[in-house]
Amino acid sequence: MWCKNQKLGRCILKMVFKIVISNPKTKKAYQIEKDVPSFIGMKIGQKFDGSLIGLNGFQLEITGGSDKSGFPMRKDLEGTQKKKALLTKGVGFRGRKAKKVKGKKKYLKVKGLRKRKYIRGNTVSDEISQVNVKIVEGEGDIEMMLGIKKEESKEEAATEEKKE
C-alpha cells in the first residue's frame, strides 16, 4: 500500500499483493505482484476466476497467505484480525523445541507441545502482503499468460556453447 498522489493533498491508496500461484499438476509455483483490490474480503478456500490476475480460463482457490510482518493466515480463525492463539498443530506451528545435546543446539520433536503464537484470520485485508492460490481447473500455458520466460535447460545451454 502506498500513496500515489501526495502533491494534490489527497492520498490514493494502491494495494499490491505478492501472489504465489501453484500448479498441483506440474508441481511448479509462480510469483507475481499485482494490484488486485477485489481480493479484499475473500476467505481461504474461496474459489475465483483467474481473469482477476491475468489467467483467463482458469479457476483458482485461495489456500493461505501472510501479512506484512510475516504472520501466517489460518483457516480456522474467522475475520481479519491478528491474534495470539495457543497452537498444537497446523499452520504457524513447528512442533519442536531446542535442546543442547553434547554442547550443540539441536531441535527435537516434543509430543504434546503447545505454543502461543501470533496468527492472522482467514479473510484477506489490506494488512495482507502475500496471497497463496492454487489452480483448481483450467488448461493452458501459465508461463506465457503471466509473461514469465521459460528457463532453458542446462543441456540446451551446453550444446549452444559448444556450437560457438
What are the sequence ranges of the domains in the chain?
A: 2-83+124-148
Angstrom CA distances, 123 to 36, 42, 49, 93, 101, stand at 15, 6, 18, 19, 42
Q: Answer yes or no: are the C-beta atoms of 47 and 61 closer than 8 Å.
A: yes
Q: What is the pTM of this model?
A: 0.76
Nearest to 47 by CA among 125, 136, 139, 142: 136
pLDDT bin (cut points 50, 70, 90) of residue 145 is confident
Beta bridge partners of 72: 66
Return the pLDDT at 158: 57
The mean pLDDT of the chain is: 85
